[in-house]
Amino acid sequence: MTSETVRLTTAQAIVRYLDAQFIEIDGTEWRLCGGGFGIFGHGNVPCLGEALWNVQDTLPLYRGQNEQSMGFAAAGYAKQWLRQRFMFCTASAGPGTANLLTAAALAHANRLPMLMLCGDTFLTRLPDPVLQQLEHFGDPTFGVNDAFKAVTRYWDRITHPAQVIQSLPAAINTMLDPADCGPAFIGLPQDVQGWAYDYPTAMFEKKVHRIRRISPDAAEIEDAAALLKSAKRPMIIAGGGVQYSGAVADLTAFADAHQIPVVETIAGRANMVATHDLNIGPLGVTGSNSANTIAEQADVIVAIGTRLQDFTTGSWTAFAHDAQFININAARHDAAKHRSLPVVGDAKQAINALAAKMDGYATPHDWTSQARAERAKWDAYVADNVSYGNGPNSYAQAIGVVNDLCDPRDRVVAAAGGLPAEVTANWRTLDIGTVDVEFGFSCMGYEIAGGWGARIAQAQREADKDTIVFTGDGSYLLMNSDIYSSVLTQKKLIILVLDNGGFAVINKLQNNTGNESFNNLIADAPTIPEAFGVDFEAHATAMGAAAETVANPAELAAAFGRAKASDKTYVIVMQVDPYEGWTTEGHTWWEVGTPAISDNDKVTAAHADWESTRPKQRKGV
């Protein structure tokens, strides 16, 4: 350890430290931080901007259009890199930073690494109150940045330059921890950013990180093996943590060895290719008849790398009351859910440790055969659902067209509205790890921004493949400016805008709960005297993308070919029916609040119908 020091500003020290961090992935060293997304303002441009100028080649800064979409892009990047690399986001004090709140919540819900370097008010308070400062009369230390405490895994406000010596490693260790992974926030008062300090040069020496693997407890593995060996109708739920652990091959080998049916969560889509004979389909509210049929009959369920949210569990109606759970998860919080037998540890190590204890066990043949038969029926339903020529244009038809024509390694991105359900149910996985359906926080607007972030990451390893974004008109109108970002940075996206005239999936829920269509479809909004459609093609073209509008799935197929051949972002617009063409099969019950009393008989009837399923709901005790 050297005693030498170097005098730097706080901002310069942060940037130099990030620039020295690397990670080993499959024997190759990569810079841990892939760069950043930034919008400058008075709270970050004079000091942090000055520091970032000097590392443009190693920590590229992508100019954002909206702070929220910057955070979405960082999340898409982290997903593509399986949480092994991250991007930072920098925003100015006040509204710029406040705009990152939703993106931080998305990263927190999805357990994704993202570093936020955000401006803050002056530590000295000499110029108070300053532009864009929120004053709390009884607590001058309390401000906008404190709101991030609820949506981050690590939070700090730097009040002295020396604090980054401890804060930066703590933030990185949080973002790389399999159990605690999530966004980190560092508030940077505008004056402290520029203060100088004599930092130890050892702080800036190259450091190579590795993702920690937590070995499962031997007794927990013994208990899990004993329970699984007793199973007559076992099932595996494969979550997103399987991919983050690099355990896809281990999961497949374990399932093959013991012939255990596997179902996937939304985050776990693309853990298995669609043609694997033990892949029984997606589970839950947006799932498949095949997965849900065996789920309600399974007696022992091994849940791997999933937080078991309500769309996976059908609000805990998808399983038998006496079904027993083994939860394998790096996070103790998730492993102990719902009366489960917990196995706290890395998925890859836990699967292999469990496999070593399973000699002599084979799933009863009739159970595996039943599961395969159910999947065959579901495949036939999907094939019919995505076909076109007889019914109105639908999400499923568009998904089928793209599925048939895309490259197996192309990445598919969807989020919020009706498309997550339609993609989850109808997409036939062509290769491992190629599907990103953001349904952890279900954020409208993630689609294009997250796709841009994913494309930045994808281009670093699979530059010849495409990132394909499915978005509805509602999400497009909420956040579309990263079409411009993708064009400017030459990070091509293929974007399908499927226009159903408003928020059609919520209109469907509104109707399904007995309510009249109201304020969801543009045509049903009482404050709109005369409805008209948006020219999405012209709008996308105005941002520099190539764009065209098609009338039907056959035209979509031809347009998709042109999009694949294009060298820049390509937007394809197609109208779909807001009422017909939805995937009607494969849904479990989902708990939503319905009115216990109403003057509308349809609402009252819908409430009674909804509540009739409640006896199936497992209690979390």
State residue 41's pLDDT score: 96
Q: What is the mean pLDDT of the chain?
A: 96
> 91-123 pLDDT, tens per residue?
999 999 999 999 999 999 999 999 999 999 999
Average pLDDT rounded to a whole number, residues 45-49: 97
State residue 339's pLDDT score: 85
> 319-350 pLDDT, tens per residue?
999 999 999 999 999 999 888 999 999 999 99
State residue 621's pLDDT score: 54
- Report how far residue 205's alpha carbon sits from residue 325's, in angstroms, rounded to the nearest whole number: 46
Number of helical (H) and strand (E) elements in the chain, helices listed first: 24, 23
Strands (DSSP E) found in 276-430 = 279-282, 300-304, 324-329, 341-344, 411-415
Of 127-131, 161-165, 517-521, 596-600, the range with the lowest mean pLDDT is: 127-131
pTM of the model as a whole: 0.97
State residue 132's pLDDT score: 85
Average pLDDT rounded to a whole number, residues 415-431: 96
- Report how far residue 413's alpha carbon sits from residue 505's, in angstroms, rounded to the nearest whole number: 18
User: 284: closest CA among 424, 386, 381?
Assistant: 424
Average pLDDT rounded to a whole number, residues 298-323: 96
| Residues in the chain, overall count | 621
State residue 449's pLDDT score: 98
Average pLDDT rounded to a whole number, residues 512-527: 95
Average pLDDT rounded to a whole number, residues 520-543: 95
Taking CB atoms within 8 Å and a gap of at least 24, the contacts of 505-509 are: 505/417, 505/418, 505/421, 505/472, 506/417, 507/578, 508/418, 508/579, 508/582, 509/592
Peptide bond before residue 129 is cis, with ω within 30 degrees of 0? yes
> 143-156 pLDDT, tens per residue?
999 999 999 999 99
Same fold, 5-209 and 218-377: yes
- Of all residues in the chain, what percent carry a pLDDT higher than 70? 99
- Report how far residue 117's alpha carbon sits from residue 580's, in angstroms, rounded to the nearest whole number: 46
> 473-500 pLDDT, tens per residue?
999 999 999 999 999 999 999 999 999 9
The CATH number for 218-377, chosen from 3.40.50.1950, 3.40.50.300, 3.40.50.1220, 3.10.20.30, is 3.40.50.1220
State residue 2's pLDDT score: 58
| 3-class SS of residue 42 | coil
Cα separations (Å) of 41 from 103, 265, 326, 528?
19, 41, 50, 37
- Report how far residue 439's alpha carbon sits from residue 337's, in angstroms, rounded to the nearest whole number: 20
User: 171: closest CA among 148, 154, 149?
Assistant: 154
State residue 389's pLDDT score: 84
The residues spanned by each domain of the chain are: 5-209, 218-377, 387-575, 591-621
Topology of the domain comprising 387-575: Rossmann fold (3.40.50)
Checking if the pLDDT of 1 tops 60, the result is no
Cα separations (Å) of 273 from 70, 195, 257, 435, 509?
31, 54, 17, 11, 31
Positive/negative CA dihedral, 344, 350, 354, 356: negative
| 3-class SS of residue 170 | helix
What band does 203 get if pLDDT is binned at 50, 70 and 90? very high
Average pLDDT rounded to a whole number, residues 437-464: 95
Average pLDDT rounded to a whole number, residues 423-451: 96
> 281-301 pLDDT, tens per residue?
999 999 999 999 999 999 999
Torsion of CA 238, 243, 249, 250, to 10 degrees: -60
Give the DSSP per-residue string, 216-268: PPHHHHHHHHHHHHT-SSEEEEE-HHHHHTT-HHHHHHHHHHHT--EEE-STT
Contacts of 70 (CB under 8 A, 6+ apart): 37, 38, 39, 62, 64, 89, 91, 100, 103, 449
What architecture (CATH level 2) is domain 5-209? 3-Layer(aba) Sandwich (3.40)
